[in-house]
Chain A
């Protein structure tokens, strides 16, 4: 290609440095041998990984995060896929309003949602922190589930289900034999996105915590506010590795662009 866009190239190089530089910096600090956060690190060591992995509140937080993310993802998909089916495959009065309604949790500020759930579910109704956390995260993920699985439905031919019905399959059989398999890439994408969204969430998780129930990002946030050493950098590096792994796996399964085209 002819090099003819110096300004654009410069700006986008700047953007990439701005986006990826800080993340690489954190990784470098995670492997530091120094006692405090410093760059460049004085030497290489894995001591902060040891420190991170043996931290009890991080362990507890990780467990809670995994549990909540997995359960909320499952709930959101179970509730969201039928909605996607209704929105994509049916015509009915108030169609547009229903679609907007199901996307609206993504529009309101997460912190406000967290505050509202804390007040109404935990304080007024005395629902446990874990229960409120699960409800809140499921509400948070529902828009992703509806939208991403809906996108895979919108891309598929509506005649597929009719073809199955015409060949003798009842509505349920047509759904499980044809529609669900056709939606699989969308469901996988939605699951990965939902899981990460829930896992990384801070505002909801921070407001809906209780005794022994606190997620990993919240524990990291607490840690960073009071101590300044490379432990969090080590945790971050591990999370980065896990996220890249999940992203690559998803890419192998269904293709990266599908995950992001939401």
Chain B
């Protein structure tokens, strides 16, 4: 099957600086892809090139198998949801949603039905006559989504669509977005810097770093096995430990075991155990987070031993089953 979106070695420079470098990307029909990364990684540039707002300086963009590299946005059949929503302030909600259909010359009757359907899908049929200014942020968000969906785009492009909502609403809208994408079966590309959002929504996740792909795959896969330190850090891994054998591994704090002289004398056989001193203990209610330092290296661990105090000599055990090897790659960021 032809992929809906395909990028072949796409690059984009701004005044001599590369924002995106020879990026390859394939998005299959019905798939929800997240472009993820810190600001400046090139994710928004990539989305804007797919939409046609930016021309690549090199490479090809195929939409539905056809070369669309130089096609203006209005001829790409995309549906875009902007970070600012970009609802037309002088038009009612209904007119906003109908705009794309009107541009396509859809006859009145069908236009009204499809506008109604789109509004129903986001559950805001009752606000059809309002102006955007009279809506809450969450409602504006839904209207922007309805407007993009109404044209039945070949791909739905979402540019940080939830970043202007407060935390509670963001989680609610996330579920809403997932439901609508499943219901419509639309192919979607989401740009976000929020890894949680990407993990929850996406079928496929592309982590970008300085304009190139740092890692790509299903969210579970990527999260379980980050390919390098940049990806691991971005996904929230905090421990980066160089083992005596020279490997660098990462491990989640809840998997690190803190052993005291009381708890056990025997050294666990698997994995690595080192002597360390606790330099900080933070109480969190159900457990505490301790900072252990061993030969200049710092390891964070959680423990339910509330007797632990700063300054205490301990042994820190990193079970082999939970350590993730991080290959040294060129993409590895300098420690920040």
Asked if A and B touch directly (CB within 8 angstroms), the answer is: yes
B282, CB-defined interface residue at 8 Å = no
Knowing A162-B53, A162-B80, A164-B99 touch, does A157 contact B86 (C-beta < 8 A)?
Answer: yes
Query: In the complex, how many angstroms separate the beta carbon of A151 from the nearest chain B beta carbon?
Result: 16
A163, CB-defined interface residue at 8 Å = yes
Give the contacting residue for A169; candidates B74, B76, B84; CB below 8 A.
B74
B51, CB-defined interface residue at 8 Å = yes
Give the contacting residue for A164; candidates B78, B79, B88, B89; CB below 8 A.
B88
Mark contacts of B76-115 with chain A using CB atoms, 8 A cut-off: 1 yes-contact digit, 0 otherwise: 1111101110111110000000011001100000000000
Give the contacting residue for A166; candidates B73, B87, B104; CB below 8 A.
B73
Cα(A58)–Cα(B86), bound, Å: 51
Query: In the complex, how many angstroms separate the beta carbon of B104 from the nearest chain A beta carbon?
Result: 5
Mark contacts of B128-151 with chain A using CB atoms, 8 A cut-off: 1 yes-contact digit, 0 otherwise: 000000000000000000011001
| A170 nearest in chain B by CB position | B74
B236, CB-defined interface residue at 8 Å = no
In the complex, are the beta carbons of A166 and B79 less than 8 A apart? yes
Cα(A157)–Cα(B159), bound, Å: 15
Contacts of A177 on B, CB cut-off 8 Å? 99
Cα(A156)–Cα(B132), bound, Å: 14
Query: In the complex, how many angstroms separate the beta carbon of B147 from the nearest chain A beta carbon?
Result: 7
Contacts of A182 on B, CB cut-off 8 Å? 88-90
Give the contacting residue for B88; candidates A163, A166, A171; CB below 8 A.
A163
A181, CB-defined interface residue at 8 Å = yes
B271, CB-defined interface residue at 8 Å = no
Cα(A178)–Cα(B90), bound, Å: 8
Mark contacts of B239-269 with chain A using CB atoms, 8 A cut-off: 1 yes-contact digit, 0 otherwise: 0000000000000000000000000000000
Q: Which of A156, A157, A166, A170 has the most chain B CB within a 10 Å cutoff? A: A166
A167, CB-defined interface residue at 8 Å = yes
In the complex, are the beta carbons of B90 and A181 less than 8 A apart? yes
In the complex, are the beta carbons of B82 and A159 less than 8 A apart? yes
In the complex, are the beta carbons of B74 and A160 less than 8 A apart? no
Chain A residues with CB under 8 Å of chain B are 156-157, 159-160, 162-171, 173-174, 177-178, 181-182, 184
Which 9 residue pairs are nearest across A and B when measured between Cβ atoms? A167-B100, A168-B103, A159-B86, A163-B86, A165-B73, A166-B80, A159-B82, A181-B90, A168-B74
Chain B residues with CB under 8 Å of chain A are 51-53, 72-80, 82-84, 86-90, 99-100, 103-104, 147-148, 151, 157
